[in-house]
Structure 1
Amino acid sequence: MAGELSKTLWRIVLPVLFGVGMGVWLVRRDIDIETLRSINLDWRGAIGIALALLFVIGRDFGLAWRFHTIAAGDLTWRRAVRTDIMCAFTSAITPSVVGGSALAIFYLNREGISLGRATTLTLTTLFLDELFFVIFCPLIALFVPMADLFAPGAMAGNGTDMFFGGVEVVFWLVYAGIVIWTAILFFAIIAKPQATQRVIGSLARRRFLKRFRAKLETVAGNMVATSKWVKGRSRKWWINVFGATVLSWFSRYFVVCALFFAFVPDVSQILVFARQFVVWVVLMVSPTPGGSGISEWLFTNYYGDLIGNLGVAAMLAIVWRILSYYIYLIAGCTLLPGYFGNKSNK
């Protein structure tokens, strides 16, 4: 237990150091007295901060609603909220390519859901998240000009063109990966689960995968079970769980819109919202825990052309990370002892 707790503490400390280090670097590089004076804390600022906090709640309500719905009454609202917070905490201390889904099975099982069913529910939520991006990213690209999403505008020059070009390339590469992964999940879970089970079973019999045979067969069995379960869901159920998914992601993006409303009101809210899709897709391949360091740097440079002042952009990046990252580190730390304190949970 002591070893596991020590390992978890290191996973908390490292991303905090990354994030704080980048925050200090941004403050030293971009923020000065004139920057602070340019930020007006008036009624608009107060309303914007209040809206940002409301959208943080909306994000968690959406995910808790989804957990509560897919568990079909076996997960109370309180347990659903706790599961959501712990998944967000996991996302904060693991590389973005891992995310909170990796331990969602454990958290659901901890809340009283059987291990097999927890796997089924986790695969379903994973599919819903990927489907959200597959559907909405093309819509954003359709209604928002590419020149607005990936052009440096007023801050062209000094390597900015190269930065935006790199962001565009990474965005479309990651999006292509999301589409492929979603297609695989759709095929494996909904369209042809038995065929997927046979393919995995065939692979498991290969000599170099023999040691993983039991685990691979378990995964295949879980996919078949998930398929049978999701095919039995009603249209209303799908509308509810996908609606909860959309609410959660939109609320996450509206946090930044609220910050711009508070401190940079002249910028197009539609463009601010659209660029959040780009930010979160790019951060999916961040190698640092919770995107620490990279998130602050990406936000400052990507939104800097809209703001026109890198100092103000850095300030907003720090506030954004507090609302979207550090609060979940703190909340997760308060719940963490309960997951290690009970011997039956080891």
Structure 2
Amino acid sequence: MVAKSNKVKELLTAKKIAIPLVIGIGVAFYFLWSGTDWTEFNKIKWGGRFFIGILVALLMMVLRDVAYMYRIRMLTDKHISWRNSFDVIMLWEFSSAVTPGAVGGAGVAVYILNKEGLSVGKSTATVMTTALLDELFYVFTVPIVILFIGTQHLFPIELQKEIFGIVLNVKGIFIVGYCFTLLLSLIIIYGIFINPNGFKNLLVKIFEWKLFRKWKHKVVQVGDDIITTSTELRNKSFSFWTKAFLATLFAWTARFWVVNFL
């Protein structure tokens, strides 16, 4: 396990993260400096309440990452220690921040978990399950928020945007995004819990194309691992999924509370 952990740490050494870190901080500082309304900034009261808010916001960030660490340990059957789960989550968060979301978050996460000793298939299934839990949090909480608050207060800004030739307002864009998230959740549920064999066959067919054919034998193994992991996940108890979802709930609630305390 130590050797595996060292491999994970080697993914993002100080030298490797220095350039994107410096560029990111520099760009963020530029936009923050140029976009700040200094008149409003000078109205900030630098009292005890302000610093308590900052402290609580930092505490919420810690709570968020602890919840993520707990969840990743559960989903991997505690294959990853608390110490190594910290490394995994930090690398995962960093990779998601410095790379495009569709590429960096999930793709790098699979690679990191694989370096921790999980098979590629189990790593893929674990990342897909974390994505599912995140999506389900959104799918379940949105109707609850709308039920208590209503759409009038959620979409006060009059904004229109053309998508594929269709002009949508803020509410319309939100509905499209919600439906996409719901569809993605259903696809993950189908691929992991209902028909993993079909998911494997789809992967194999894709990698039968001439461009990807040289990786076909590896994809077959990935598909087999996903089927095995799917069987394990489907046999998990109700309490297991309750704990996993509660960890997701705590993580996302803490994430939103960071803004509320600032």
CA gap of 1:100–1:208, structure 2 versus 1, over 3 A, is closer
Separation in 2, partners of 1:167, 1:7: 40
Give the TM-score, by structure 1 length: 0.63
Match for residue 244 of structure 1 among 212, 236, 247: 247
| Pairs aligned (count) | 245
Q: Offset at 1:56?
A: 0.8
The amino acid of 1:74's aligned partner reads: H
Q: Offset at 1:62?
A: 0.5
Give the TM-score, by structure 2 length: 0.80
Query: Which residue pairs with 2:105 in the alignment?
Result: 100
The amino acid of 1:243's aligned partner reads: L
Separation in 1, partners of 2:120, 2:211: 27
Match for residue 181 of structure 1 among 181, 184, 194: 184
1:3-37 CA deviation, whole Å, 9 max, x = no partner?
Answer: x987754443443344233212212xxx12x3233
Match for residue 29 of structure 2 among 13, 20, 23: 20
1:37-85 CA deviation, whole Å, 9 max, x = no partner?
Answer: 3211223223222211111111011001111222223211111111111
Query: Which residue pairs with 1:76 in the alignment?
Result: 81
Query: Which residue pairs with 1:306 in the alignment?
Result: none
The amino acid of 2:191's aligned partner reads: A
| Matched position secondary structure for 2:42 | helix
Separation in 1, partners of 2:173, 2:214: 35
The amino acid of 1:100's aligned partner reads: G
Q: Offset at 1:223?
A: 2.9
| Matched position secondary structure for 2:204 | helix
Q: Offset at 1:132?
A: 1.6
Separation in 2, partners of 1:240, 1:137: 21
Separation in 2, partners of 1:223, 1:209: 19
Separation in 2, partners of 1:79, 1:244: 18
| Matched position secondary structure for 2:103 | coil
Query: Which residue pairs with 2:159 in the alignment?
Result: 162
Separation in 2, partners of 1:6, 1:147: 49
Query: Which residue pairs with 2:131 in the alignment?
Result: 126
| Matched position secondary structure for 1:97 | helix
Tell whether the 8 Å contact from 1:62 to 1:245 is kept in structure 2 after alignment. yes
CA gap of 1:227–1:171, structure 2 versus 1, over 3 A, is same
The amino acid of 1:43's aligned partner reads: G
Q: Offset at 1:181?
A: 1.3
Q: Offset at 1:163?
A: 6.9
Separation in 1, partners of 2:237, 2:94: 32
Tell whether the 8 Å contact from 1:65 to 1:244 is kept in structure 2 after alignment. yes
Matched, 1:228 2:225: no
Tell whether the 8 Å contact from 1:120 to 1:225 is kept in structure 2 after alignment. no
Pairing 1:1-346 to 2, within 5 Å after superposition = 9-27=18-36, 31-32=37-38, 34-152=39-157, 161-162=158-159, 167-206=170-209, 210-211=213-214, 213-214=216-217, 216-259=219-262
Unpaired stretches in structure 1, ≥5 consecutive residues = 153-160, 260-346
CA-based RMSD: 2.8
Tell whether the 8 Å contact from 1:129 to 1:245 is kept in structure 2 after alignment. yes
Unpaired stretches in structure 2, ≥5 consecutive residues = 1-9, 162-167
The amino acid of 1:245's aligned partner reads: T
Q: Offset at 1:239?
A: 0.9
Q: Offset at 1:130?
A: 1.8
1:163-197 CA deviation, whole Å, 9 max, x = no partner?
Answer: 79755444333322211111111101001112333
Q: Offset at 1:200?
A: 3.5
CA gap of 1:90–1:167, structure 2 versus 1, over 3 A, is farther
